[in-house]
């Protein structure tokens, strides 16, 4: 599915574990006191670069490692027009002790694609025989929606989550040249038995691994038809919402300068009363999120949207919809009507209650 060699795959519990495994490998192995080593010589901590719109399974581990004095971290802001990271900004953030750059392939809330391939190409002049900057991408959101190839991306690590492409809730980590002297390094985070060639202890969940393999097979055989189907239905969804709501709707992170996944639609209804959560509470049919799927209980505006340049009064009203490979145009019609009725219930509560009683 991702053009990797079987020996370069380690099976894990999910994308969160895979991300944590990569990040923890690049921390300083000795806790330092006040940033100093022997004598008065300043010890430079490993430096990791990431973006300000990463999934929390990247940002939270990095913040913890930073607060524990084990790494230095730079969170690079995204361009507020393209809603994607600028490769030049990442390159400018590189320091002599930079060891890892982690950049998601596609954002999980906006669907905006990030320039991972371009970054890997621009990193080549920075690589030397005595110094290597490794590149990791969290590809969980992109796999199953667009073609993903580690050869094309030229990354050292790539995170996979099965449930994002109709597989079971299990994950995997791609590690370039795993086990070879010139391959990317990997250190176990969970110790015990020798499973997964000693990289991930614990008896493997064979049934879920087989399920992940089958889902990967289906993606490999059908990715272009999946991509076309998702795009046509998502575009129909956005066109239908636009026709229904007109100037009342704002599509977040959608512009002629941004490239998005074919399945993701993030929008807001303009107005103080139309919080994303309020709209969803009045919906009778659809189930959706106001931010990332794993923490949709937040009432405040999504930090991802704010960091992507969406104004706070718009971001707090956001609703994220995703279409699937079996979503039909008829499903979209039902969903749009449901959102319209929810809007009417908030905008005109008295007349809506009277029509409901009748």
Give the pLDDT confidence of 7-43 residue by residue, as tens digits: 999 999 999 999 999 999 999 865 444 444 555 555 6
Residue 156 sits at the vertex; the CA angle it makes with 50 and 159, to the nearest 5 degrees, is 70
- pLDDT value of residue 130: 78
- pLDDT value of residue 33: 45
Nearest to 283 by CA among 347, 344, 328, 212: 344
- pLDDT value of residue 63: 97
Using a CB cutoff of 8 Å and minimum separation of 24, what contacts does 207-212 make?
207/168, 208/162, 208/168, 208/169, 208/170, 209/11, 209/170, 211/162, 211/167, 211/168, 211/170, 212/11, 212/162, 212/167, 212/168, 212/170, 212/172
- pLDDT value of residue 290: 83
- Give the SS3 label for residue 216: helix
Residue stretches of the chain with pLDDT short of 50: 31-36, 296
Q: Per residue in 117-150, is it b (16+ CB within 10 Å) or e — as a string? A: bebbeebeeeeeeeebbbbbbbbbbbbbbbbbeb
SS3 content of the chain, % helix, strand, coil (to 5): 40, 15, 40
Q: In what order do the strands lie in the sheet with 264-269?
A: 249-251, 264-269, 318-322
Nearest to 275 by CA among 232, 314, 228: 314
CA 13 to chain centre: 17
- pLDDT value of residue 355: 59
Name the strand (E) or helix (H) holding 12: strand 9-12
Domains of the chain: 6-213 (3.40.640.10), 223-357 (3.90.1150.10)
Is the separation of the CB atoms in 112 and 258 below 8 Å? yes
Q: How far apart are CA 22 and CA 175, in angstroms?
A: 9
- pLDDT value of residue 292: 54
Name the strand (E) or helix (H) holding 172: strand 171-175
Q: What is the CA radius of gyration of the chain?
A: 22
- The half-sphere exposure of 33 on its side-chain side, counting CA atoms within 13 A, is 4
E strands of 37-167, at which residues? 47-51, 72-76, 98-102, 134-138, 157-161
- pLDDT value of residue 34: 46
Q: How far apart are CA 313 and CA 262, in angstroms?
A: 26
- Per-residue CA distances from 323 to 104, 236, 293 (Å): 21, 11, 14
- pLDDT value of residue 29: 63
Residue 290 sits at the vertex; the CA angle it makes with 289 and 293, to the nearest 5 degrees, is 45
Name the strand (E) or helix (H) holding 307: helix 303-307
Q: Which residues belong to the active site?
A: 294
Q: How far apart are CA 263 and CA 255, in angstroms?
A: 16
């Amino acid at each position: 599915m991702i053009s990797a060699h079987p020996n370069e795959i380690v099976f894990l519990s999910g994308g969160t574990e895979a991300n944590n495994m990569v990040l923890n490998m690049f921390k300083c192995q000795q806790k330092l006191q006040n940033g100093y080593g022997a004598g008065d010589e300043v010890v430079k901590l490993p430096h990791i670069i990431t973006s300000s719109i990463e999934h929390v399974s990247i940002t939270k581990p990095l913040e913890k490692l930073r607060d524990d004095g084990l790494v230095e971290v730079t969170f690079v802001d995204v361009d507020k027009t393209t809603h994607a990271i600028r490769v030049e900004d990442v390159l400018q953030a590189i320091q002599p002790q930079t060891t890892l750059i982690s950049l998601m392939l596609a954002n999980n809330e906006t669907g905006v694609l990030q320039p991972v391939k371009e970054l890997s190409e621009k990193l080549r002049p920075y690589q030397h025989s005595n110094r290597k900057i490794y590149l990791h991408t969290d590809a969980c959101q992109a796999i199953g929606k667009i073609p993903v190839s580690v050869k094309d991306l030229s990354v050292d690590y790539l995170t996979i989550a099965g449930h994002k492409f109709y597989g079971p809730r299990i994950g995997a980590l791609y590690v370039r040249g795993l086990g070879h002297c010139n391959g990317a390094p990997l250190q176990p985070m969970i110790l015990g038995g020798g499973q997964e060639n000693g990289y991930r202890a614990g008896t493997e969940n064979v049934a879920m691994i087989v399920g992940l393999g089958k889902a990967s097979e289906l993606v490999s055989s059908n990715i272009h038809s999946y991509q076309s189907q998702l795009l046509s239905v998502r575009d129909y969804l956005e066109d239908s919402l636009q026709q229904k709501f007109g100037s009342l709707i704002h599509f977040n992170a959608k512009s002629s300068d941004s490239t998005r996944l074919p399945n993701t639609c993030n929008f807001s209804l303009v107005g103080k009363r139309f919080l994303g959560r309020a709209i969803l509470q009045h919906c009778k049919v659809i189930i959706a999120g106001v931010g990332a799927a794993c923490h949709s209980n937040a009432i405040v505006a999504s930090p991802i949207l704010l960091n992507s340049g969406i104004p706070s009064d718009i971001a707090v009203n956001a609703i994220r919809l995703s279409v699937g490979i079996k979503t039909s145009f008829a499903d979209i019609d039902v969903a749009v009507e449901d959102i319209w009725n929810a809007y009417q219930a908030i905008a005109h509560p008295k007349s809506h209650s009277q029509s409901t009683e009748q």
